[in-house]
A = this chain, B = another copy of it.
C-alpha cells in the first residue's frame, strides 16, 4: 500500500516514517509554494534516509493569506494550521492509499481533529494516519535519540525543508526581519542527518 507522509526533514516526520514503513510503501512528500528552494533540504534528508521523495506544489494564495494572518495575529499558530491542512489536502490528491503526518499528542499546532481526519478520508478515499498522535513529547524524544542522528538549534539557523522557511520569507518581504522575529519567537528546530549509528 502506498502512503504519502508530509515530511519537513525534521525529527517528528522522520520518526513517523519509521513507524509506518513496516506497513506501507512510504513516500516522503514536501509541500512548496515556490517562494524559496528550502524544500531541497527535505529532499536531501529523504535521500540520506533512503526514502522516495516527492515535492508537491502548494497554492501560493494560501501562503500569502497565512503570512498575512500570522503578521496580524503576531503568532504563527493559525497560519501554520491553515497551511498544514492545505498540504494534507494536496497529499491526499496523490495516487496513494493513505496519507500521514508527524503530529504528536502534545503538539499545540498543527492539530488534526478526529472530525477533520474523517472528512479528509471520506472526501479523498484515503486513510489518514498520525502515528505519533498517541505519543507524548518525552516518548518521542527518547525514540528520536535512540534511532536518529539529529541536528538541533534555533529555528533561524537550522535548515528547514518545510514551508516555515517560505512563510518566514513572505513575512520578511512585507514586514522585515522584525516581523519574522515577532511572529516566530526563537524555538528549537531539528534537521535529520540520518539514522543513529550510521
Q: How many copies make up the complex?
A: 2
Is A128 part of the contact surface with B, judged by Cβ < 8 Å? yes
**Interface size classification for chain A:** 20 to 34
Name the one of B18, B103, B128, B133 contacting A22, with C-beta atoms under 8 angstroms: B18
Known: A121-B136, A138-B121. A131 touches B23 (CB 8 A): no
Contact A22/B23 with A128-B136, A134-B129, A136-B121 known, Cβ cut-off 8 Å: no
Encoded as 1 (CB less than 8 Å from any B CB) or 0, chain A from 58 to 89 comes to: 00000000000000000000000000000000
Q: Would you list which residues of chain A between 107 and 149 have a CB under 8 Å from chain B?
A: 114, 117-118, 121, 127-136, 138-139, 142-143, 146-147
* Contact, CB under 8 Å: B136 / A118: yes
A133 to B1, CA, bound (A): 20
Tell whether, in the assembled complex, residue A98 and residue B133 are in contact, meaning their CB atoms are under 8 Å apart.
Answer: no
The CA of A138 and the CA of B105, in the complex, are separated in Å by 21
Pair B143/A136 contact, Cβ less than 8 Å = no
22 contacts between A and B (CB under 8 A): A1-B146, A19-B19, A23-B143, A23-B146, A23-B147, A97-B142, A98-B139, A105-B114, A106-B114, A117-B136, A121-B136, A127-B135, A127-B142, A128-B136, A129-B135, A130-B134, A131-B131, A131-B134, A131-B135, A132-B134, A133-B134, A134-B134
